[in-house]
A and B are shown apart, each in its own frame.
Chain A
């Protein structure tokens, strides 16, 4: 694999406690008090507990967890829509928690942009005016910001609807406006809070593909919040799994699926379509030998595609190519084994 990209956002020892006296409760939490105990003792809710995550530039970091796990709280700390109780959030080395109101506004205008679960478009404005909102806030002149917004609307396939009002658009189209609005701000960091959760499954798949396609050109640092493991595995370069405000496991999504470290995650991954998630590189045997099979396959191919390629024949084997160079081999038997959890 390539050298890892530089860290763009670094979350260090982040705590968030909701309640009347969070500082006092923080001491209890550091001594090891759990979520339920804390709630009974002093009406404090443990939002986030000792979060440490490095989010790398140009990658999609997916934060996944069930509702109440603190994932939306976490993403709102990155642009300080919620104030942390303790800890640091470093963006390009600058601590966000120490910013003045003016500095914070700068950060939100220039560095980060956000896509919301419920779209949060302005109903009294046209689609174009909505898409131009971030630039308008920055004080970009009308003609310039309209041109820029129009460019992004066309990019997400909504050029024809520029003059409509948002309520005339379907949910999927409204979220496309939300994405165009976020991209038009030209900020390097894109926060997406359950951006596709309110959409129909088919539309959701469309939007995921749109996002991946945009990402191949734009290389934004994307923080994506999701409660859907299939979505998380499809999008993530780096996957963080939250439970009750704590990080349960984080890392390469493939390795999380293959080596779940917690019964909670085992439960989670038992339901997914592994063939679609796992890629050749996670299952292959690295290293070259003399009798490499003649047929080749790329490291990034999913097992599903490989099974289709092999026509279901478990006796076949392939040479795995990483960027065109042979890197190892894969036997179809290993593929089948990898599809069943807890075997081999």
Chain B
């Protein structure tokens, strides 16, 4: 005798309940109840110890009511029915992302190690103008190479590079639009909040159904969705924080909206935008490690192997490699940012 059978009987819904009998597979709770019934026999449930009338509990008394697993199955079938349509639109749209990722990964693999190192050092010196930092980056790369982690680190770096560039290309216009249009800001902000609060694993689930796990764009999209948020937020904020006196002056001198954006607003918002870029890079790095679950190459794969095979040393050393990469990316972008601020602002 299930807990709420009597309720449905008194309400006169018995016929409806039995007509809609679904007879799906048993839930765990049903199995356990059955086992209990076999051993001890059914006992009347006391009034105060009745369970919460959840879908599963009610289903025991009335088969016409959905169980929770029916609900999740419905969500799944809804998603699967939309899948083909979505795929038709998203596949060609996102194909360039796959090409960019494969191309960049192959490009870095093709370069000899010493040339890669040299190029990176040149770029670091150019943007930071700090010999100490360049020396640190050089030493870090040598250490990584010595312990055979350099190729994996470069793969991780290549993915971050591609995803950051695309995040900026998409995020900057969205941020500008938000700063200019209060309604756009109202629409986009909740989406950004959602993207930021969704646990990073949850990004991967629908993507796995949409795309093949072997496609690079699968992890590319996951990383971009996660990392694009700060660049959008800080572009919006930066432009909104531009001194109204200065934008008024721009108007008073007869600037067009485009001139005002390019000559006044973007340059003055640049420190904030660069801070957003720094955050975008760091979040790409965080996500690229998780994305190794869906075939993203790089240091994350080594961490994953450490977890899967319980190889403590492998996982820890690869983890330290990621920390090293994070320090390099953070220090280099922050130094470049502060150099820019010192040059331009008070």
Contacts and interface: CB of A to CB of B under 8 A. Distances in A.
Contacts of B346: 123, 167
A185 interface: yes
Interface in A118-176: 118-124, 133-134, 136-138, 165, 167
A109 B245 contact: no
Interface residues of A, number: 29
Nearest to B344: A124
Interface string A92-124: 000000000000111111001110111111111
A79 interface: yes
A137 B248 contact: no
A116 B256 CA distance: 20
B246 A109 contact: no
Given A105-B256, A167-B346, A120 B251 contact: no
A118 B247 CA distance: 12
Interface in A170-212: 185, 191
A264 to B, nearest CB: 30
Residue in B245, B268, B270 whose Cβ sees the most chain A Cβ within 10 Å: B245
B48 interface: no
B249 interface: yes
A79 B252 contact: yes
A218 interface: no
A109 B252 CA distance: 8
Nearest to B266: A124
Contacts of B254: 104-109, 137-138
The A interface, classified by DSSP as helix, strand, loop or mixed, is: mixed
Contacts of A133: 253
A165 B253 contact: no
A81 interface: yes
Contacts, number: 62
B255 interface: yes
Contact of A120 (B243, B255, B259, B270): B243
A120 B345 contact: no
Contacts of A165: 344
B75 to A, nearest CB: 45
B345 A167 contact: yes
Contacts of A121: 246
A133 B246 CA distance: 12
B345 to A, nearest CB: 6
A63 B267 CA distance: 35
Contacts of B248: 81, 116, 120
Contacts of A117: 245
B174 interface: no
A191 B252 CA distance: 10
Contacts of B255: 105, 137
A82 to B, nearest CB: 10
Contacts of A108: 251-254
Interface string B260-273: 00011001101000
Given A123-B344, A123-B345, A113 B245 contact: no
B345 A122 contact: no
A209 B237 CA distance: 42
**In the complex, which of the residues A79, A112, A118, A120 has the most CB atoms of chain B within 10 Å of its own CB atom?**
A120
Nearest to A135: B253
B253 A122 contact: no
Nearest to A80: B251
Contacts of A167: 345-346
Given A105-B254, A107-B254, A137-B259, A124 B268 contact: yes
Contacts of B345: 123-124, 167
Nearest to A106: B254
Nearest to A168: B346
Given A116-B245, A124-B345, A165-B344, A137 B253 contact: yes
B97 to A, nearest CB: 33
Contacts of B259: 137
Interface string B321-346: 00000000000000000000000111
Interface string B88-108: 000000000000000000000
Given A123-B345, A124-B267, A124-B345, A81 B252 contact: yes
A172 B252 CA distance: 21
Contacts of A113: 252-253
Nearest to B346: A167
Contacts of A191: 252
A123 B252 contact: no
27 contacts: A79-B252, A81-B251, A81-B252, A104-B254, A105-B254, A105-B255, A106-B254, A108-B251, A108-B253, A108-B254, A109-B253, A109-B254, A112-B252, A113-B252, A114-B249, A114-B253, A118-B245, A119-B245, A120-B243, A120-B246, A122-B264, A122-B267, A123-B268, A123-B345, A123-B346, A124-B344, A137-B254
Interface of A: 79, 81, 104-109, 112-114, 116-124, 133-134, 136-138, 165, 167, 185, 191
The 7 closest A-B pairs by CB, nearest first: A108-B254, A109-B254, A120-B249, A114-B252, A124-B344, A105-B254, A120-B245
Given A116-B252, A124-B270, 7 more contacts: A81-B248, A104-B254, A105-B255, A114-B249, A116-B248, A116-B249, A122-B267
